[in-house]
Structure 1
Amino acid sequence: MSQFIKTLGLGAAVWMSSLSAVYAAPTQITQIFQQLSQSPTVRADFEQQKKLPSLNKTFVSNGSLLFSKSYGVAWQIKRPVQADLIVTPTKLIQKTQRTFSQIQVDQSPYSSVATLFLQLMSGNEQALAKNFNVVSANYSPAGWSMSLTPKSSLFKKLFVRVDAQGQQFVNQMVITEKANNLTTIRFSHQTSQPTTLTAAEHAIFQLAK
């Protein structure tokens, strides 16, 4: 569980004054964010694979994801353990059957990547640019991709780059960490309907109140 939380926090942010310097393809990156921002609610399944070359091991976890533009992202982990990770613009919440913890986003060393998916799905260009440089971006009706590198010296010590790709939704994120550790998160069965949250889904985000 702690490894999953760390990875989402590492690897589940940006800007205005330096827009021209940050973006290699400002028109294409804008098109990507405009497309992603059209879905106020997204539900999906996910699988995360974390490869550790030094140990010759791959750790796998999976579950379901709920994105709400009004509230945040809830990662509901089903395997290898059951737990919830809730990410809002201001808080990170971790909940299991026996434990509950929360921390302010600005107090977490992993806040940039923990909130990355939230910023992508909500189409929040400004938030993303605070912590990341967009070094490449490609958009077409068939799909899009972008590569991000961390800005701060702290985040540069944790990971090298983040690559994301998708179509209507984010389909995959790959986080390249130091020591060649690689985390891949794949999303499937995405849907934007229904747009309103159920009572149970709404209750999940109330944990962050």
Structure 2
Amino acid sequence: MRRLVFLMLGLFSLSVHAVTLDDLQQRFSQQPVLRAEFSQQRSVSGMDQKLNSSGILVISRNDGLWWQQEKPFALSLLLTDSRMVQTMAGQPPQTVTAQNNPQMFQFNSLLTALFHADHRALEQNFTLDFSDRGQGNWKLVLTPKTSPLNRLFKTIRLEGQTFLNNININDMQGDVTQIRFFNQRTEPKTLTDAEKQHFSS
């Protein structure tokens, strides 16, 4: 009888702590600012050598996403609700808006939805397959169902626990991109003066 009680309590505990996509979205939405480091590895079909890059990023709920690649060369990407700005060393910034390039700007919204686990926005373009992997770990597989995404990507897989830890992208050309995030920090909860400069540029 005692063993049965412990078993039932264990099952109840598992069900209580199971992670859902709604839980995930709520958790991410409660992080006003998230900072992290990233490493990216890309396997290109037909090439033996993998392409590696690394850098840092800042995600602000109110301001957008700032992505700074530091290696193998400097490249920054700023995403806000109204624009996407890419800057490479020695070159003038390239700005994309919904007006001058609606298709490219669609990727802006996609990246924002990925980092915020915004399943309502993601459901507009993807079939979602979310799974709780236990111990707070989760996986979300996105399969494109609308154009042009379904002509570009096979699947996009997100994995994480407290934070988003990995993104794996399989495209229609046979290329695979793996992005790992680490050293995530949520303090301070507001942008520093230096970070504000990135979003105001």
What band does the TM-score fall into relative to the shorter chain? 0.7 to 0.9
Structure with larger RCO (C-alpha < 8 A, sep 6+): 1
Structure-1 residue corresponding to 2:89: 97
Indicate the SS of the match to 1:121.
helix
Which of 137-146 and 63-72 deviates more? 137-146
Give me the whole-angstrom Cα distance separating, in 1, the residues matched to 2:39 and 2:97.
Answer: 26
- Give the Cα–Cα distance (whole angstroms) in 2 for the partners of residues 156 and 113 of structure 1: 13
Looking at structure 2, the residues matched to 113 and 163 of structure 1 have their Cα atoms a distance apart, in angstroms, of 16
| Residue in structure 1 matching 2:131, options 134, 138, 143 | 138
Cα distance in 1 for partners of 2:88, 2:44 equals 25
Corresponding residue for 2:75? 83
Structure 2 match to 1:35: 27
Aligned residues: 180
Deviates more, 1:177-186 or 1:31-40: 31-40
2:147 partner letter: S
Q: Distance in 2 between matches of 1:110 and 1:52?
A: 22
> What is the root-mean-square deviation in Å for CA atoms of aligned residues?
1.9
Q: Cα deviations across residues 137-195 of structure 1 (Å, max 9, x unaligned)?
A: 02355211100011213211111110001112110000000132100010010011111
Structure 1: segments with no counterpart, 5+ residues: 1-26
- TM-score, normalised with respect to structure 1: 0.78
Pair 1:154–1:174, CA change in 2 (3 A): same
Q: How much identity, in percent, do the aligned residues show? A: 28
TM-score (norm 2): 0.81
Give, in whole Å, the separation in 2 of the partners of 1:110 and 1:185. 21
Deviation at 1:108, TM superposition (A): 5.0
5+ residue gaps, structure 2: 1-18
